[in-house]
Amino acid sequence: MRVTSIANQKGGVGKTSTCVNLCAALGLTGKKVLLVDMDPQSNSTSGLGVERHSLDASVYDMLVDEIELEKCIIATQWKGVSVLPSTIDLAGAEIELVSVLSRETRLKKSLESATGFDYILIDCPPSLGLLTLNSLVASDSIIIPIQCEYYALEGLSQLMRTIDLVRAHLNENLYLDGLLLTMFDMRTRLSREVAEEVRNRFNEKVYATTIPRNVRISEAPSHGMPIQYYDPSSHGTVAYNKFAKEVLKKWQNKGV
Neighbours of 20 (CB within 10 A): 32
CA 105 to chain centre: 18
Instruction: Sort strands 74-75 and 81-84 into parallel, antiparallel or unpaired.
Output: antiparallel
| Residue 231, φ and ψ in degrees, nearest 5 | -150, 85
Residue 68 near residue 61, CB atoms below 8 Å: no
The CATH number assigned to the domain holding 99 equals: 3.40.50.300
111-125 in b/e form (b: 16+ CB < 10 A) is: beebeebbbbbbbbb
- pTM, entire model: 0.95
Q: List Cβ neighbours of 221 (8 Å cut-off, separation of 6 or more).
A: 16, 17, 20, 43, 46, 47
Number of domains forming the structure of the chain? 1
**SS3 label, residue 242:** helix
Tens of pLDDT, residue by residue, the chain (256 residues): 999 999 998 888 999 999 999 999 999 999 999 999 999 999 999 999 998 888 889 999 999 998 999 999 999 999 999 999 999 999 888 888 877 878 899 999 999 999 999 999 999 998 888 999 999 999 999 999 999 888 887 778 888 888 999 999 999 999 999 999 999 888 888 888 888 888 998 989 999 999 999 999 999 999 999 999 999 999 999 999 999 999 999 998 776 5
Range of the structural domain that residue 219 is part of: 2-253
